[in-house]
Amino acid sequence: MPSWLGTLEELGELDLSSNNLHGDIPKSLGNCSNLVILDLSHNSFSGEIPTSLGNLIKLERLNLSCNHLQGKIPSSLAKLTSLHRLNLSNNDLRGRIPETFSGFPVSSFQGNSPEGLCGRPMEVCLRSGGKKGMSNAAVVGIIAVIVFSSTVICLVMVYIMVRMWCHWREVAISSTVDGGGGAGREQRREMRGRKGGDDQFWKLSQLVQ
């Protein structure tokens, strides 16, 4: 693909799909500032996607599918805010998809390298150790569940302790009342016994006289 195409600054549409082209995509294409449609699909382009394509701020359609493009999606492409159709499928791309492209369908990124692309709308990117990273919402949700569970457990434990204390207090009061009543009854029984003995002694004294 000739690099002189980058000199066509007034070019609005470039469709070179299915032409068996190979080699790198010329960086000079980033100079075509009026380009609205760029279709280089179904060729044999290799190398990385030029970062200069991020200068095509008027670009609405970008199709680089079915090539042999490698590396990561340049972060400079996030500047393509007018882009409403994107296809980077069936290449050898890998790494994180720019957040700007999260609204495109999964089909725009499928069929890349074994390491693959990750991030919305694809699967969550793998962090070190092979563990999937969690979104902020997931982390907040987990924290909320832990806090709620801990609160419920604490309340249940407090309730159990209060019930145990109340039961212990009732038992203690009941034991005190029963113990006091028994002593009173023994004392009254002893007093009646003493009174009966005194009466019998007085009657015996009268008989002797």
pLDDT digits (tens, 9 = 90+) for 9-51: 889 999 999 999 999 999 999 999 999 999 999 999 999 999 9
Helix (H) or strand (E) holding 118: strand 117-118
CA dist 97 and 74 (Å) reads: 9
Both tokens of residue 68?
A: 């042999």
Report the alpha-carbon angle 141-142-146, nearest 5. 120
- The whole-number pLDDT of residue 138 equals 73
All residues at 6 or more sequence positions from 103 whose CB lies less than 8 Å from its CB, including other chains: 121
Neighbour count for residue 65 (Cβ, 10 Å) = 23
Average pLDDT over residues 156-161: 88
List, for residues 82-136, the tens digit of each pLDDT value: 999 999 999 999 999 999 998 999 999 999 877 788 888 888 776 544 444 555 6
Percent above pLDDT 90 for the chain: 47
| Spatial CA neighbour of 122 closest among 131, 109, 133 | 109
Average pLDDT over the chain, rounded to an integer: 82
